[in-house]
Structure 1
Amino acid sequence: MTTPENIHTFIISLPKDKHRREYLGGQLDALNMPYTVLEAVNGKALSAEELALAYDPKKAVRLFNRELSKGEIGCTLSHVSIYRKMAAENLPHALVLEDDAKILEDDLAATLSKLAQLYPADVPVAVMLIHVKRVDANSRVPLDAKHDVYDAYRGVHTHGYFITRAAAEILAQKLYPAYVVADKWEYFQENFIDVKCLVPYPVGLTEAAQSSSIEAMGVREKKLTDGSNYGYYLRKMFRQLVYLVRSRPFIRIEHKGRSELDPL
């Protein structure tokens, strides 16, 4: 099945990673899913002037108790570029993939079509299509005979997700200048948009993810500030409490395992 015209597929990739694009592009071609490659922002190549415009280190420290690495800055700016494109071109929905993603299901296009029906473009929601360790079992919504949609609980990683135009418009505005990693879904969920996940998940990781050029996942290059930032911890606790009260008083956490097709 071809991806519907209202769902655009984007691959984020650095120019040097041709083999990754070709592998992922080959998978999409085999599924008859057209795609657009968007050049990732190489954070390590940004000049001091560019960083001054596109990055807010004070906000990063105030909200998250550390600065971002240049790789993390580039990753966030890469995803923001897609959100801006969706807003500028009035694109209803998008499938966003990083170049180390791996398609696990042959019926991905049909699954995306069902997600687009469930979440119209004006509903601010992102659906993680990757492994999420914990979900809110009370939030389960059947998508079809095979898949269920849940509220993600502190999900991470950005190598595969579905997003609506409304969510993209919000994130394009809220995440620039960069101050937070691109996969801080918990923060987005608490403050900006709904964040769901699909179980079982249709997008995994290739072995290339172990040395990701985009730095959307893996070990963070933490640069903690000197001393204790008590304001950060108080704000974090308050933010989480408000979210839990607002969303539902009784969340039932359920753990989800990895697919045997996605051992990483």
Structure 2
Amino acid sequence: MSHQLPCFVLCSSDQAPHREPIRARLEAKGLRVTFFPMVERDNITDRNLGSYINAHKNKSEYGDVLTPDNVTVALSHLNVYRHILNHHLPGAVILEEDADVAETLVQLLDTKSAECLENMFGSYEPVVVQLTHVAQAYRSQRRDIGNTPFKMMRPYGTVRQSRGYFVTNAACHNLVKTQYPVWTSADHWEGFVEQDIFRLWALTPNPVWACDPAAELAPANQPVARPANLLDPVHRAWDKVVTENILVRRLPKHPPVR
């Protein structure tokens, strides 16, 4: 495809034996990818970890301890966002190196098509579109995408462990402005939405997933529990009875778990 939306793959090695199988896997599905080096894990140690972290915000907004691995991944994603800004790209798809994709994803990457993710949102709109599975979404907030098999929906609840997503230039600007020093994990998507950093959408059926299904079962870091509020029981009851039973639907997972 001559007019493909930029696709960056965060890669832990610059060695050809590591990269070429990844390139072959994605090119077989029609994607033309650019490898983007991750921050060297050895550069982030327990000794210098604190210099990269906003400790106060981490404690108040996130709560879970950030490890060198968390910070390495967060800094790596921030570097891609800076690259997008420095090269004035309207938007891009970012994939983890262990991502696999549906053959139909390429339909959303042709920048000359109205169905392209880039053309569905202005570069000035802070938007992220999750390409990996999201468990639940609002029934009413749905957009069909032309003749493709996909629908765009607004996620409900926790959204974590993404293997791929689309991000606009404006969302990159907001993330770079607010996420350094690092205060949370790179995939704390609902936390970013709560802070009004971007609007979050998700595709269903999800066109991206982990090559190894076991990787998606790994425990995710959990955000800090909020102080108790007298109305919390009312809110929980409303969510259980109204939101989850009427306003929200569960989304199918692709490929189906065997």
Q: Are positions 1:233 and 2:237 aligned together?
A: no
State the alpha-carbon separation in 1 of the partners of residues 2 and 206 from structure 2: 18
| More moved, 109-118 vs 197-206 | 109-118
Partner of 2:125: 123
Which residue does 2:250 correspond to in 1?
A: 255
- CA deviation vs aligned residue, 1:113-158 (integer Å, no higher than 9, x gap): 4221111211110100111111111100111231110011232122
Match of 1:178 among 166, 182, 187: 182
Cα displacement (A) at 1:170: 0.7
Secondary structure of the structure 1 residue equivalent to 2:92: strand
Which residue does 2:212 correspond to in 1?
207
Letter in 1 for 2:106: A
Please name the residue that 1:245 is paired with: none
Partner residue, 1:160: 164
**2:8–2:94 contact (8 Å) kept in structure 1:** yes
Question: Matched residue of 1:257: which SS?
Answer: coil
Percent identity over the alignment is 23
**Secondary structure at the counterpart of residue 66 of structure 1:** coil
Distance 1:44 1:252 in 2: 46
Alignment CA distance shift 1:17-1:69 (3 Å): farther
After TM superposition, the runs of 4+ consecutive aligned structure 1 residues lying more than 6 A away are: none
Partner secondary structure for residue 233 of structure 1: coil
Give yes or no for contact 2:46–2:68 (8 Å, CA) kept in 1.
no
1:116 to 1:39, Cα distance in 2 relative to 1, 3 A: same
Structure 1 unmatched ranges of 5 or more? 242-248
The question of whether the paired residues in 2 share the 8 Å contact of 1:57 and 1:68 is answered with: no
> CA contact under 8 A between 1:43 and 1:71: conserved in structure 2?
yes
1:241-261 Cα offsets, whole Å, 9 max, x none, are 9xxxxxxx99811101212x3
Structure-1 residue corresponding to 2:219: 219
1:150 to 143, 148, 153: 153
* Contact 1:100/1:208 (<8 A) preserved: no
Q: Using a 3 Å threshold, how does the CA distance of structure 1 residues 204 and 3 change in structure 2: closer, same or farther? A: farther
Is 1:55–2:57 an aligned residue pair? no
Structure 2 residue identity aligned to 1:30: A
Distance in 2 separating the partners of 1:110 and 1:151: 21
> C-alpha offsets along residues 163-183 of structure 1, whole Å, 9 cap, x if unaligned?
111111111111111111111
Match of 1:79 among 73, 77, 82: 77
For 1:194 and 1:3, the matched residues in 2 are separated by 29
Distance 1:123 1:18, change over 3 A: same
Q: Residues 100 and 209 of structure 1 are in contact (CA less than 8 Å); yes or no, is this contact kept in structure 2? A: no
Residue 202 (structure 2) aligns with: 197
SS in 1 for 2:219: coil
Equivalent residue number for residue 97 of structure 1: 95
Q: Structure 2 CA distance, aligned partners of 1:173 and 1:201?
A: 29
Paired with 1:15 and 1:36, the residues of 2 have a C-alpha distance of 13
C-alpha separation between the residues in 2 aligned to 1:48 and 1:166? Answer: 33
Distance 1:125 1:18, change over 3 A: same
The Cα RMSD (Å) is 3.1
Q: Equivalents in 2 of 1:30, 1:117: separation in Å? A: 24
How far 1:20 sits from its partner (Å)? Answer: 5.8
Distance in 1 (CA, whole Å) between partners of 2:248 and 2:2 is: 33
Aligned counterparts of 2:36 and 2:66: Cα–Cα separation in 1? 22
TM norm structure 2: 0.80
